[in-house]
């Protein structure tokens, strides 16, 4: 006779073993998979080169806190407004070099750096001797 009151026991050990083996296989093979997209780039003209490159912007600050950009000379307080006007001639992604006298206080140099960054230039570097 069949006893309907018995509750069957589930044996999940083989299922766990199979899942662990599949996980181990996946972990071993994943680093070996390399995705490489084939992109064909257009050929450029080697006879025509761009000669409209602008020189890099250089900001010079002397010991008397006078700022010189190109041929313009201004005080440190006039710099934020003038750098926006003068910066329109330059590419915002071109490098900007700040040459500051070593006798200036740290706050003055950081003010120049902040003013240049606020004008929209992204590549700003402090230039030193050698």
Q: Is residue 106 domain-resident?
A: yes
| Structure confidence by residue, pLDDT tens digits, 86-128 | 878 888 888 888 888 888 888 988 999 999 999 888 888 887 6
CA gap 121, 95 in Å, rounded: 8
Q: Is residue 43 domain-resident?
A: no
The parent domain of residue 112 ranges over: 57-126
Q: What is the CATH number of the domain that holds 63?
A: 3.30.420.270
- 39: CB partners within 8 A, 6+ apart: none
Q: Is residue 91 domain-resident?
A: yes
User: Against a cut of 0.85, is the pTM above it?
Assistant: no
Q: Is residue 92 domain-resident?
A: yes
Domain tally for the chain?
Answer: 1
Q: Is residue 65 domain-resident?
A: yes
Q: Is 27 strand, coil or helix?
A: helix
Angle at 92 between CA 54 and CA 98, to 5 degrees: 80
Q: Please, which pLDDT band fits residue 53 given cuts at 50, 70 and 90?
A: very low
Q: Is residue 34 domain-resident?
A: no
Which strands sit side by side in the sheet containing 57-61, from one edge to the other?
Answer: 72-75, 66-69, 57-61, 96-100, 124-126
């Amino acid at each position: 006779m069949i006893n309907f009151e018995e509750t069957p026991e589930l044996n999940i050990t083989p299922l766990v073993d199979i899942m662990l083996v599949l996980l181990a296989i996946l972990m071993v093979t994943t680093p070996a998979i390399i995705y490489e997209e084939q992109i064909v780039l257009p050929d450029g003209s080697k006879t025509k080169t761009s000669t409209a490159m602008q020189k890099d912007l250089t900001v010079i600050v002397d010991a008397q806190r006078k700022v010189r950009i190109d041929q313009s000379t201004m005080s440190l307080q006039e710099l934020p407004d003038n750098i926006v006007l003068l910066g329109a001639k330059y590419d915002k992604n071109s490098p900007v070099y700040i040459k500051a006298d070593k006798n200036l206080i740290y706050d003055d140099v950081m003010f120049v750096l902040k003013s240049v960054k606020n004008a929209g230039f992204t590549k700003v570097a402090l230039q030193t001797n050698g």
